[in-house]
Chains A and B, each alone.
Chain A
Amino acid sequence: MNYPVWDVSFGIGILMAIVSVTHVFVSHFAVGGGLFLVLTERKAYRENDQTLLEWLIRHTKFFVLVTVVFGAVSGVGIWFTIGLIHPSGTSSLIHSYVWGWAIEWVFFFLEITAALLYLYGWKKMDRALHEKIGWIYFGAAFMSMVIINGIITFMLTPGKWIQTHAFWDGFFNPTYWPSLFIRFIFALALAGIYALITGTWQKDEALKGTVVKWSARWVIPAFVVLPLVAWWYIHSVPAHVWASAAGKMPTATRYANIIVIFSIITFVLSLITLLKPRKIPFVYSLVIVATAFMTMWGFEFVREAIRKPYIIYDYMYGNSVFKEAVPGSAGMDVASLDANGVLKVAKWIRPESREITEENQLSVGREIFRVECQSCHTVDGYRSIRKIVNKKKWGFSSIYSRLGLLDKMFNGVMPPFAGTEKEKTALALYLASLSTVQETEEAAVAPKISGKEVFEQHCSDCHEAAPDDPLFEFMKQYDVAKISYFITRLDSLNEEMPPYEGSEDAREILAKWIHEQFK
């Protein structure tokens, strides 16, 4: 809208996912692993275990190569990537939290320096100094998490910031503390999990046994505490936001299930290492790494999924449209776009597309798709809109009516369409041009269609087949004939509902099916 859209056919979201999930899996190790290094160093000296110390020196090298190189570069990489795929959101985060980022940078700088000195200092420093550098490393790494956690949680639950726009109101927001604990505990678990990688690589079985047992002491308690903190986190997220992950929306729910399943697997696999710690093969550690990765991936994805349709909750939508006007938002809020038109307000519209004519409707529709929809959808790649309109068998009128209730569909994961009626028509025409369904077909009957299929086609964008859904709660008191009658009058039952557009036969089938559900 304000910025050009990076038009990537396969979908920029995937790029973001790859960069960010691999980064967090390393950056949390960078925090927990710092504590692990110092405490293992102390343990080795205390128990006078020379082989453990020598392993730790090798492990430090591994730690630096993973965190200082990949961790730091991919962290900068996230910043590069969000700037490319969501400049408006990035700009908001930078402008609201410059001093947060600047403070984080101070710690980042200390962190990187201390990590390198800790590595090179094994040979050059005396014990006490070396350990001090290790503590500085851990302190700085931990503090950088303390800062960034405030900004990430702000995006999901900005709290009072929405009214005040004050730094600390957004920083210490409702999910700040539970999120910090989840991240820190996970970081401790990862310290043990990464240590298993270099630990199980060792040939010396006694050493391997020592490292595996010591690592398990980091992983197992963490996974015992995690469910409690997760419970706290869930309860800090406003109920209507969390609803997406609790069965109301397939993607978020799926990721929530992934967390549960893979954290249990990781926990059990870690317990098993204690049976024969000296015999754990290297591959086994990689399996644990993979299951822990899935857990982390699930967590970050749930967070991203339940934040929809916003990039910053209640402030800016995923497609960079402001929820409400703020001073300086340059007319890029929903109400102003509805009144003035996206073609007039958006910056990056081709000059010839500023006015809609008979001839250019389709190409203008394509442009509106780019500025309003392409932050999440693609034509043929990720969340392909062509696939969706064809799977749902939508033609122009179905699409047009649905554009009017985007924010109601799928438990509200999409922002509303913002723009004039003419623009909505142009977009609907463009989307309909991707559909193989003809207007006449749309209303025609498929002879053996089931009630469930009719429901999927006409109702499931906003309703789910569940007893507590308003549709079923309302209809259950009536008989088939009455239900069928109500279906003809949907828009008068609730003005937000589009009229039923299917055939009469299909309507009868649907009415019968609804009547039979949840008796």
Chain B
Amino acid sequence: MGNLPLIPAADPMPLPAPLWLFKVLLLVTFLLHIIVMNFLLGGGVIAIVARWRGAKDEKFARLSRDLSKKIPSLLAATITLGVAPLLFLQVLYGQLFYTSSVIMAWPWFMVVVILTIAYYGYYLVAFKDQKNNAAVLGWVLIGSVFLTFLVGFIYTNNLTLMLTPEKWGKIYFQDPSGWNLNLTEGMLLPRYLHFMVASLAIGAFLLILSGLYRWKRDVENARFLIQYGGKWFMYSTMVQFLVGIWFLIALPKEKMMIFMGENLLATIAMLAGILLALAAIFVMSGALRKEDPRKGAITAMSLIGVVLVLMVIMRDALRDAYLAPYFKLSDLAVKTQFGVLLLFLVLFVGGILVWIWMMKKYFFGAQAAALKE
């Protein structure tokens, strides 16, 4: 028993629904979470840059103000949409996730504290930004964005540590007090950067979406938003190719091979992802040269939407490849709780409808329309 990885037994309670349903819910809610998280992080960085350029150019100042006002709500959405995948992750991989969390307990606990500080910082900038305190609030914004990136770094640490049970015993018994990270992990840095650079690219869509929303009211500003956002998207996606390659070669060989033919789905997902991302850059660059870039921008965003789905699938395939020596999801017992599952599905659909109704009323309601004119 001595040197074998210390993997806790899975929970005695059987899964209350078929495995595939949990997997679908995990991946779908994770996708939604990652999109708003990208808006939040990318929007934060662009807000800082635009704030800096705004000293000389009013349209950048306006962009920064607009973004700063949106960020608190994006953080709210990121947290709220993060709860669901974290729940389903604990259902499927709890015995791995809790263990890695305990090993790096302090940083993991600090996520909550860091997030609270960043959150109030964002609200301070959103509610109190005036000429006389601009310098201070600029720093507050930078601080909050930094803290949000730090949260992402802690997440990457935990979710990579979770995949490598062979390392746990050594780290834990050296220091059981929870002051650990997973810094020796080879894929840590490229994996983290892969997510963060993606945030810049996807965050740029926030600008494009604002541009589309404003097109009829204020063409000039809308065009600027699409142009500027389009550039952020293109340049960061180009960088992303380099980071992606680094991530791939940082993987241990047998894990890398799942994208090189060993796992058909993962291989196709990666090839299609690369091609679609390239296509999106070309389409976007074409669109930005046009008087009306809207159609091209929408096409590029849709292509990237597909890429995101593929990336989520690849991420999941990589996770299961890492865990294959230790644990098979299909070993988990299943005993479906039909009644309450049905109740959840009904409320889920109902909740989405109510949510759409609220958003529609808010953004496209009668009075909102009147205000636009």
Which residues of A come within 8 Å of B, CB atoms? 2-9, 15, 19, 61, 65, 68-70, 72-74, 76-77, 79-81, 83-84, 87, 90-92, 94-96, 98-103, 105-110, 112-114, 116-117, 120-121, 124-126, 129, 133, 136, 165-168, 326-330, 332, 347-348, 350-351, 354, 370
Q: Is the CB of A125 within 8 A of B361?
A: yes
Please, what's the 1-or-0 string for B82-114, where 1 marks a CB less than 8 Å from any CB in chain A?
Answer: 011011101100110011011101001101100
Residue in contact with A354 in the complex, picked from B1, B10, B73, B348, CB distance below 8 Å: B1
Chain B residues, CB < 8 A from A107: 347, 351
Closest to A7 in B: B176
Main secondary structure of the interface of B (DSSP, over half): helix
Q: A113-B355, A347-B8 are in contact. Are A4 and B1 (CB under 8 A)?
A: no
Q: A3-B8, A99-B16, A129-B361 are in contact. Are A348 and B172 (CB under 8 A)?
A: yes
- A407 to B225, alpha carbons, bound, how many Å? 68
Q: Is the CB of A117 within 8 A of B115?
A: no
Q: Is the CB of A136 within 8 A of B358?
A: yes
Cβ-based interface call for B55 (8 A): no
Residue in contact with B177 in the complex, picked from A8, A95, A114, A168, CB distance below 8 Å: A8
Residue in contact with B76 in the complex, picked from A15, A95, A116, A124, CB distance below 8 Å: A116
B219-238 interface with A by 8 A CB criterion = none
Q: A73-B79, A80-B109, A84-B108 are in contact. Are A351 and B344 (CB under 8 A)?
A: no
Q: Is the CB of A92 within 8 A of B7?
A: no
Chain A residues, CB < 8 A from B367: 124-126, 129
A-B contact count (CB 8 A): 210
Closest chain-A Cβ to B308's Cβ sits at a distance in Å of 20
Chain A residues, CB < 8 A from B84: 102, 105
- A91 to B99, alpha carbons, bound, how many Å? 11
Residue in contact with A99 in the complex, picked from B83, B112, B343, CB distance below 8 Å: B343
Q: Is the CB of B347 within 8 A of A94?
A: no
Q: A7-B177, A91-B90 are in contact. Are A84 and B105 (CB under 8 A)?
A: yes
Q: Is the CB of B366 within 8 A of A126?
A: yes
Closest chain-B Cβ to A365's Cβ sits at a distance in Å of 16
Cβ-based interface call for B12 (8 A): yes
Residue in B7, B105, B344 with the greatest tally of chain A CB atoms within 10 Å: B105
Residue in A3, A98, A109, A124 with the greatest tally of chain B CB atoms within 10 Å: A98
Q: Is the CB of B76 within 8 A of A112?
A: yes
Q: Is the CB of A329 within 8 A of B12?
A: yes
Closest chain-A Cβ to B323's Cβ sits at a distance in Å of 17
Chain A residues, CB < 8 A from B1: 351, 354
Cβ-based interface call for B365 (8 A): yes
- A294 to B176, alpha carbons, bound, how many Å? 34
Cβ-based interface call for B362 (8 A): yes
Closest chain-B Cβ to A510's Cβ sits at a distance in Å of 42
Q: Is the CB of B347 within 8 A of A103?
A: yes
Cβ-based interface call for B80 (8 A): yes
Please, what's the 1-or-0 string for B198-212, where 1 marks a CB less than 8 Å from any CB in chain A?
Answer: 000000000000000
Q: A91-B90, A91-B98, A110-B354 are in contact. Are A327 and B12 (CB under 8 A)?
A: yes
Closest chain-A Cβ to B161's Cβ sits at a distance in Å of 12
Residue in contact with B333 in the complex, picked from A19, A328, A350, CB distance below 8 Å: A328
Top 4 A-B pairs ranked by shortest CB distance? Answer: A328-B12, A351-B2, A87-B98, A95-B13
Residue in contact with B2 in the complex, picked from A87, A92, A166, A354, CB distance below 8 Å: A354
How many of chain B's residues touch chain A, expressed as a range? 35 or more
Chain A residues, CB < 8 A from B361: 125, 129, 133
Q: Is the CB of B344 within 8 A of A103?
A: yes
Residue in contact with B105 in the complex, picked from A6, A112, A327, A329, CB distance below 8 Å: A6
Residue in B91, B112, B348 with the greatest tally of chain A CB atoms within 10 Å: B112
Chain B residues, CB < 8 A from A167: 16, 337, 339-340
Chain B residues, CB < 8 A from A109: 80-81, 351, 355
Residue in contact with A5 in the complex, picked from B7, B11, B102, B351, CB distance below 8 Å: B102
Please, what's the 1-or-0 string for B1-33, where 1 marks a CB less than 8 Å from any CB in chain A?
Answer: 111001111111111110000000100000000
13 A-B pairs within 8 Å (CB atoms) are namely A3-B99, A4-B102, A65-B120, A69-B119, A69-B123, A74-B116, A83-B98, A92-B12, A98-B16, A99-B337, A113-B359, A124-B371, A351-B2
Q: Is the CB of B340 within 8 A of A70?
A: no
Cβ-based interface call for B264 (8 A): no
- A100 to B103, alpha carbons, bound, how many Å? 28
* 18 further interface pairs, Cβ-Cβ under 8 Å (given A328-B13, A329-B9): A3-B99, A4-B102, A65-B123, A72-B80, A91-B11, A94-B91, A98-B87, A102-B84, A105-B84, A109-B81, A117-B359, A124-B367, A167-B339, A168-B339, A168-B340, A328-B11, A329-B12, A370-B176
- A136 to B362, alpha carbons, bound, how many Å? 14
Q: Is the CB of B177 within 8 A of A94?
A: no
Residue in contact with B90 in the complex, picked from A69, A76, A94, CB distance below 8 Å: A94
Closest chain-A Cβ to B255's Cβ sits at a distance in Å of 25
Closest chain-B Cβ to A348's Cβ sits at a distance in Å of 6
Closest to B82 in A: A76
Q: A2-B9, A3-B8, A329-B12 are in contact. Are A125 and B98 (CB under 8 A)?
A: no
Q: A84-B102, A351-B3 are in contact. Are A6 and B176 (CB under 8 A)?
A: yes
Closest to A69 in B: B119
- A332 to B11, alpha carbons, bound, how many Å? 12
